[in-house]
Structure 1
Amino acid sequence: MAGSGPSGARRVDDPPEVRDALPTHPEPVVRLNRAVNLADVREAARRRLPRPVFDTIDGGADDELTLTRNETAFRDLLVTPRPLVDVTTRSMRTEVLGQPVALPVLLAPTGGARVAHRHAELAVAAAAASRHTVYVQGTVTSWSLEDVAAAGGGSSWYQLYLPADRSRTAAMVDRVVAAGYRALVLTVDTAVFGGRERDRRNGTALPVRIRPRLALQGAGRPAWAVDFVRGAVQLPGPLSGSRGLSVRATQEQILASPSPVTWADLASVRALWPGPLVVKGVLGPEQVQRLLDEGVDGVVVSNHGGRQLDGVPATIEALPAVVDAVAGRAEVFLDGGVRRGTDVLKALALGARAVMIGRPYLFGLAAGGQAGVEKVLDVLGTELDRAMALSGCATVADVDAGLVRRVGR
């Protein structure tokens, strides 16, 4: 890794020894530079990734009704601009759990970074730090949580899947504390895996086995194939101290992840974790009061990107009721379906402190590594800034519920 960025973050790059050791294939930087929206970034990733890998990132559960609804539900919200407001000077800055961020877009925890790009979570954390926002590092990772924390320059949060052996929880939390993560996010909607039918058809349902079809698809995407091989090489030089995991080890992490989380587990984690605690995977107000009583500081309205139970509400549909139930006693975040700056604006108007994105930055990562993730954040930032100006909002604090209404009202 070379170069320093904001908050002590470093740009992720291979040392010369690695660059010279293997044949290179140019990253699709030109295509990425031409992207004007997140759909273009997704298309750049689709062209670079083998079809089974793209589907693993892009797909959802069962009939993908919730996956689709997460995006389309934003279209049922209309923005009512407020003219005659001086928006010459604007700011997207806000705070999340007391932590300043340059824009209200956070990077959600995901498990597919390794197949998108060899630098995986290191690149994502560094990109978030370079744009002064938060990356929520997941338990399922290709790099040690200490290395990812260092790449993020002390700005990252950590998402926790509880180990099946609960006696290991305390040691895990101690590692997260020692690494300097700012907040802990407990995911509660993965008692079992959702039905990922695209993966089953492609032969990429876990555990993944390299079948002829998958091998042929990979051979047809040489840039991705070379990158994937480079990621499997022991890295000398500046990256030699980084503790990367093999693909097999990463798969084993994923297979071990689903585990029902109980109220007793939540109480145990709250007792162990000294900082802000966030619960991710809430879709209704019924449990909110007890979550607050247990000492939760934040709630993420999330349906796991439509990858768990199909047929549940879109997160933007579920958001208002959760915000009402929280009643300002904790911070509420929205995760799912955000593809435009106007989507961010609508979520803020309905009470979200910030939004989280997953697939969009994985597509950026696949299309261009750290630069691709930064591109995604820049696109959303540009669109949000424009939407705020055109709707008459000079700051995030100016965005309120009166700004939006549902179609037909």
Structure 2
Amino acid sequence: MTDNQVYFTPVELGRHTLPNRIVLPPLTRQRAEQPGDIATDLMAKYYAQRATAGFMVSEGTQIEPRGQGYAWTPGIYSTRQVEGWRKVTEAVHAAGGVIFAQLWHVGRVSHNALQPDGQAPVAPSAMQPEKVKAFIETGPGEGELVNPPKPRELTIPEIEELIELYAQAARNALAAGFDGVELHCANGYLVNQFISEHANVRTDRYGGSLDNRLRFLREIVAAVSAVVGPDRMGVRFTPLFESTDQDRVYIGLVETDPHQTYVEAIKVLEDAGLAYVSLAEADWDNAPDLPVSFRKAVREAFSGRIIYAGKYTAERGARLLETGLADMVAFGRDFIANPDLPARIANDWPLNPLDASTLYGGAEKGLTDYPYFEGSEAEPAREAAE
């Protein structure tokens, strides 16, 4: 047995028994049908090709029109969007997979061009975001990264309406056939903005103390859990411990005390009995590792499953699983380029290289045309997806 066999022991995740501990995490691909931001047959094929993952989470799907920060990303608020996602879930289930929908609202990381009636994006506070970009369409199949404008502060009645929008998105996810939902509370987007001292300077019950800044998270978790059940629900965070000068689209907010902030946030999930927490680490070159003390604190605070993602090789992920501080490991870029990634990890087969130029937008190139390992047992899964 190789060290990588640690991935191939079954694991319970809520009501599901998963055959392996390899996760396809949420990965923005910007290939939704236009107009309408609808999941497509091509997307169904993409997910079905990767259904040998123990667990899959859809790309972020906006819960309402104001929640969009990037052109061509899918939504889950219209009837046609639900129908599009149903094609995806049916294809995944036919291939034997388990898939949750990631519910997404970008908050201030948007642009007037993406907002209804060209209005300003909404946020917990009217604070100009830094080091982030929105992506707008400039022509058919063409777009550009742009600086977000200053957002508008949400009123308390609007916050209460947003909580119901999350609950409705969860209902839509179940109607679309998803096995559960993940709340996107990472990467500097709306829920992360409420949690962060750098994006939330409110003076009402949703701002000020850490407990108040966690209120939006707590209320969304309660509302969505009432719809899907806590055993069909997870949350994703990005607990960054060091700042970076890199100008990146996907970047979280670095708190003064990230350890306390995220341990307390994870306790919210523990109190609600959620199935898992997913922690996305910094993944750029020379990014700092999460402190072992934090990983241990997460394990002590949370009794559900713990998923880590971020610059993991199969070997590095196996070492983390062996420590007992993680239950599952997610692979993003490697899973994009290798639809049969679990088989490659199990057999120590070489990996396809990633074509970074095809990550966002386009059609099948870079989405469904990556080859399987020649002669692998994943070949029938590919045929079933076609």
TM-score (norm 2): 0.48
Structure showing greater radius of gyration is 1
Q: Which structure: greater helix fraction?
A: 1
With the length of structure 1 as denominator, give the TM-score of the two structures.
0.45
